[in-house]
Amino acid sequence: MKFTVVTPSFGQLRYLRLNAASIADQHGPGIEVEHIVQDGGSKDGTREWLATRPDIIGVAEADEGMYDAINRGIKKGTGEIFSWLNCDEQFLPGTLAAVKAFFEQHPQVDMVAGDTLVVDSKGEYQCHRKAVVPTTGILRLGRTPVQSCSLFFRARLVKGERAVLFDPQWKAMGDWAWLRDQHARGARMERLPRFLATFVDDGGNLGMSPQAIKETRAVYGALSTWHRATEYAVRGADYFRKFMDGYYRQKPFDYAIYQADEQRPSGVSESRQVRYVAKPTWHWKGRAH
């Protein structure tokens, strides 16, 4: 099975090195990986670094933002399964093997959403987010119950006559809009109950930016009176569904990620560093549930 992983890039070489390392070690029988880095004109050495990586398809060209960069990468991709992994995100060990097995066992499924670890800039665990297959009601409220770094989808959703790509008019909520559109077209998503990726919360993330707040308010402001009146019922049903699915329960576990190592020429630790989580929590400090 061939995977295409698109990484939109702009001035994040420190994180991009770790991102690439986590993709490069996704070995397994029948797994082929095409990593496309779509760089929007970085001036931090990214272009020079990409020139040293023949295993990565590095493209430097102007774009209209992150979602336009993702679209450009997808159009160049030739995989059966697609995903996008931002510079400050990493795949965990065995992620692509697990996704491959799931898709092979469920040929009717279009998208697979896994669970995600939130870490700080040093890779230390902060909390976790378990994926929840979105309902029409939740999407209508502008909520995205899956993390993009742990989302994989078949080429048929983004290639061919019925392809649906990202709307670059959205600068922070393009993944929500894309999921809403795919859901409306009948794309089937299922959850893979396994941690697949890490996401860095360093305070500068696009999804936590003033632009994201502005777009969220715009979506909410466009709701009808009826949909606003039923909001709490929709949220309540979602919390109940999470509880029944084990969202709020998690046993201690360990995880392994790459860390920056300025003493090495590659700038990346030689191997993944293992961290143990004694007290897992779903609560993301400073973020809504």
> What is the pLDDT at residue 211?
82
Which residues, given as ranges, of the chain have pLDDT below 70? 204-208, 287-289
> What is the pLDDT at residue 80?
98
For residue 115, with 0-12 CB atoms within 10 Å meaning exposed, 13-18 middle and 19 or more buried, which class applies?
Answer: buried
Question: What's the 3-state SS for 12-59?
Answer: CHHHHHHHHHHHHCCCCCCCEEEEEEEECCCCCCHHHHHCCCCCEEEE
pTM (predicted TM-score): 0.95
Is residue 2 within a helix (H) or strand (E), and if so which, with residue range? Answer: strand 2-9
Measured CA to CA in angstroms, residue 156 lies from 34, 78, 80, 139, 173 at distances of 17, 11, 8, 22, 22
Could you report the per-residue pLDDT of 186-196, keeping only the tens digit for each?
A: 999 999 999 99
Bridge partners, 9 (sequence order): 39
Q: Is 225 helix (H, G, I), strand (E, B) or coil?
A: helix
Can you tell me the distance from the alpha carbon of 105 to that of 88, in angstroms, rounded to the nearest whole number?
30
> What is the pLDDT at residue 208?
66
Q: Which fold has domain 2-277?
A: Spore Coat Polysaccharide Biosynthesis Protein SpsA; Chain A (3.90.550)
Q: Is 109 helix (H, G, I), strand (E, B) or coil?
A: coil
> What is the pLDDT at residue 207?
65
> What is the pLDDT at residue 204?
66
